[in-house]
Structure 1
Amino acid sequence: MALTNQIVLMTTKFKLLLIFFILGQSGFAQNRLPIIKANSVIVDIRDGDSFEKASWTISPELKPDLYETPNKYKSVTFYTDLDSISFLVKPNEHYDFIILLNNTDTAYTRIVYVMPPDFIDILKKADKYNLEDSREIPNFTYQTSNDSNLVLLRKTFNLDSIAGTGNEVSQILSLLHWMHNLIRHDGLNGNPETLNALSMINTCKKDNRSLNCRGLAMALNECYLSMGFKSRYVICLPKDSLGVDKDCHVINMVYSNSQKKWLWIDPTFDDYVMNEKGELLSLEEVRERIICEQPLILNPDANWNHKTSTVKEDFIYRYMAKNLYMFKCPIRSEFNTETKVQGKTIEYIQLLPLEYFNQLPFKSEIKNEKTGTTVITYKTNNSALFWKAP
């Protein structure tokens, strides 16, 4: 009996020693994790060729707090307000580190590679529209440059001088560059309540603030209208069948009489897209060329806030391939389109590929009881109507 007790006791001690050894090894490994310090919970991240400011929030309660990147064999760098850390990310590996917040809270953080969805393949499956779709939708309209608000906008910011005396395309691009240089982009903090170019530009100057892509495109759209160009801002949307992708991108389409087509104009990244001959392309043409695997050229000076270059492979073939699935435009291109006021109605047309899973209702109407604004959206599969020249 005594011998049995001794054996049991020795076995128990061995198990305890083994547990302590494992815990010790775990703690040792944990202690060896790289540590960076932070006083603010907001982190900037450079992921491959893209830089996202204030895109990460430190969360000590998550163990680990997981950052997933679609970029393999590229560096991911976390920038806190005090420190930074960088890893070259490879498939089938993970990269652990600790963010020490205010010298008290420990945030265990992990970076892993995840294979991104094949957005080009998704786009290829959505190549078909229905040019016979005859459901009645309103015509797009464009406010004329003699509107009093547009005249005031043109004179306030000397847009004639900014556009210059060059040909039509050079004037369109000059206004693009001016807007890009005038107001920073920030995709996280939204826009002011009053959504017209006069108010947004003045607010950004006064408060040293920025706009998101929608705000930039709305402001630039009104500048084009004030100069007599027919222009729309276009909400470029992903398929997002699971309803989890809240990201979209908003750019401008400006009609060139000399080219006899719409031109892709993007104030967020100061970019436009060309074919192999250097001819500027429309959104419709860029989408078709991605699907048909035809060459695309992004202007070499495209950039984000003059901090990082915009790279074609990431921007066109990943980000925009995702967001060129379907499109949405206000029917009336005019001053102050989206400012919410009591009794106002804002109408949109949404272009859907035939492959899209949610085709109905054809017309939806939603009233915001708080602002008193009604939003009406029409759906169409007729790409010819959506891209119709003014």
Structure 2
Amino acid sequence: MKFLITFFLIAFLTFSSFAQTSSPKWNKFLSDFKKLEQEYNTHYPAKDYHTAAAILDKIAATLDTLQLSEKEKQDFKPTITEIYANVYYNLACLQSLLNQKKQAITSFEKSIKWGYTDYQNALNDADLNNIRKETKFIKAFSQLKQYDKLFLLQQSGNYLSENYESMPVFKYEDSNNRNLVEVKNFFNLDSIAGSGDEISKIRNIMLFVANNIKYDGSNWALCEFDAIDFYNYHKSTGKGINCRHKAMTLNELYLAMGFKSRYVTCMPKDDQDTDCHVINSVYSETLKKWLWMDPSHGAFVMDDNNNLLSIEEVREGLKNNQSMKLNAETKVTKLWYLDYYMAKNLYWIQCTNKSQFNTESRYRPADKDLQFISLIPSGFEKDSNKYLKNNVITHNPAYFWKSPE
């Protein structure tokens, strides 16, 4: 179990129903919920489990008696189900800690009924250890396996060795481009990168973006899509930018310093899942390989020998249950970030054929030669996936991850 806000904040920010709406009843519920949330996050860490459980019961009871119209129920259904699922999951944890085994199992069953699907969290949550050997819990828990994002990735089809002579060539803008020179001077990148070796420069630039431009996964920045404008937007408004915009920013900083780089969209299997994640792949001439860099979470991935890994290596590592770890600077955990979040979002991968300043423009004329190229596993139903429309499709990682020329 975690603090209530850990579960709910991401879910609520995904839906417009968390903001003020035209429904007075729903607005009143949200206002009351925020107060109860604060109370819960005071009592749970203090191990006042009885009071914390009573607060969750009150949230559920409030939803049970909330008189909404049919239209309101439909409009707010995603958020309502998310609240129920996570309230009952947290309640199961508290009741387990209180040795109320029967009630805990009932609450756990209700959480699944309402759509709780986080298999990895339930698998590793010590708060549930008191009921893990109970027959009814084992039966309920087994229902979650089908939703395990790591399991789904591991069941994905293999890649194929296809001829790619006729495929688009990946191109990287030269650092002497006047726009990239302006980026380099604006950010004083020589100072940010430091005087160390190539890898330290790559790390330092990524951590600069992670620490100096606020991350807000729900915000689509109202500015032109280039590094300077993203930075100025954040500084002038105080607002964060989403993962795509942070990756675009880092990409331009890398290109400006002469590193070959792409921003890479990591996608889930389910096209009804609107949450994806965008990170960077930067090529190390020293190591002769691509490296995973995530400026949203300040993260890169290593094996047990501290060797930096590529996106391709991380995906294969997850598929084959290989041991991996994250850098010390990041605030996310390996369990959440790799085994859940990125396992979900590495089912298929997309990037553009051209990596350059202002690759995707909000206001400037679009690059007519820009193409989106997607690497998908065999057996994936590409024709029915709306996000693959008009994409160049490949099943060949040798083409997709070809070293820059």
Partner of 2:306: 278
Partner of 1:45: 5
CA 1:133 to 1:126, structure 2 compared with 1: closer, same or farther past 3 Å?
farther
Q: Is the 8 A contact 1:290 1:321 kept in 2?
A: yes
Q: Which of these residues, 134, 156, 161, is aligned with residue 186 of structure 2?
A: 156
Partner of 1:389: 403
Does structure 1 residue 145 correspond to structure 2 residue 175? Answer: yes
Partner of 2:166: 136
Q: Which has the higher mean CA deviation after the structures are superposed, 181-190 or 340-349?
A: 340-349
Partner of 2:242: 212
Q: 1:176-222 deviations in whole A, cap 9, x for unaligned?
A: 11111111100112123410001111121122221000000000100
- Give the alignment of 1:118-197 within 5 angstroms: 118-134=148-164, 136-197=166-227
> 2-side partners of 1:94 and 1:83: how far apart?
10
Does structure 1 residue 332 correspond to structure 2 residue 364? Answer: no
Partner of 1:96: 57
Superposed CA RMSD: 3.5
- Give the alignment of 1:262-341 within 5 angstroms: 262-303=290-331, 310-340=332-362, 341=364
CA 1:79 to 1:302, structure 2 compared with 1: closer, same or farther past 3 Å?
farther
The letter for the 1-side match of 2:266 is C
Partner of 2:141: none
Does structure 1 residue 254 correspond to structure 2 residue 271? Answer: no
Q: CA shift at 1:343, angstroms?
A: 5.4
Partner of 2:380: 356
TM-score computed with the length of structure 1 as normaliser: 0.71
The letter for the 2-side match of 1:254 is V
> 1-side partners of 2:288 and 2:258: how far apart?
15
Q: CA shift at 1:127, angstroms?
A: 4.5
Does structure 1 residue 85 correspond to structure 2 residue 40? Answer: yes
Q: Is the 8 A contact 2:360 2:366 kept in 1?
A: no
Partner of 1:112: 88
The letter for the 2-side match of 1:349 is I
Higher radius of gyration, 1 or 2: 1
CA 1:229 to 1:313, structure 2 compared with 1: closer, same or farther past 3 Å?
same
Tell me the matched-pair count: 309
> 2-side partners of 1:118 and 1:282: how far apart?
23
CA 1:192 to 1:208, structure 2 compared with 1: closer, same or farther past 3 Å?
same
Q: Is the 8 A contact 1:133 1:381 kept in 2?
A: no
The letter for the 1-side match of 2:402 is K
Structure 1 segments unaligned to the other structure (5+ residues): 1-43, 67-77, 304-309, 366-375
Q: CA shift at 1:94, angstroms?
A: 11
Q: CA shift at 1:83, angstroms?
A: 3.8
CA 1:53 to 1:257, structure 2 compared with 1: closer, same or farther past 3 Å?
farther
Q: Which of these residues, 374, 379, 383, is aligned with residue 393 of structure 2?
A: 379
CA 1:96 to 1:134, structure 2 compared with 1: closer, same or farther past 3 Å?
same
The structure with more helix, counted as a fraction of residues: 2
The letter for the 1-side match of 2:88 is V
Partner secondary structure for residue 218 of structure 1: helix
The letter for the 2-side match of 1:260 is K
Q: 1:255-300 deviations in whole A, cap 9, x for unaligned?
A: 0011110000000110000001000000000011111111001112
Q: CA shift at 1:172, angstroms?
A: 0.3
Q: Is the 8 A contact 1:237 1:249 kept in 2?
A: yes
Q: CA shift at 1:229, angstroms?
A: 0.2
> 1-side partners of 2:288 and 2:366: how far apart?
37
Q: Percent identity?
A: 38
CA 1:80 to 1:327, structure 2 compared with 1: closer, same or farther past 3 Å?
farther
Q: 1:142-195 deviations in whole A, cap 9, x for unaligned?
A: 001000000011011100111011000000000011111111100112123410
CA 1:98 to 1:276, structure 2 compared with 1: closer, same or farther past 3 Å?
closer
> 2-side partners of 1:329 and 1:148: how far apart?
24
The letter for the 1-side match of 2:58 is F
CA 1:82 to 1:132, structure 2 compared with 1: closer, same or farther past 3 Å?
closer
CA 1:54 to 1:377, structure 2 compared with 1: closer, same or farther past 3 Å?
closer
Q: Is the 8 A contact 1:125 1:355 kept in 2?
A: no
> 1-side partners of 2:351 and 2:196: how far apart?
29
The structure with more strand, counted as a fraction of residues: 1
Q: CA shift at 1:119, angstroms?
A: 1.3
Q: 1:41-91 deviations in whole A, cap 9, x for unaligned?
A: xxx82239x9778567278757xx89xxxxxxxxxxx755994424679xx
The letter for the 2-side match of 1:234 is V
> 2-side partners of 1:347 and 1:324: how far apart?
20
CA 1:171 to 1:112, structure 2 compared with 1: closer, same or farther past 3 Å?
same
> 2-side partners of 1:245 and 1:61: how far apart?
28
The letter for the 2-side match of 1:380 is T
Q: Is the 8 A contact 1:98 1:106 kept in 2?
A: no
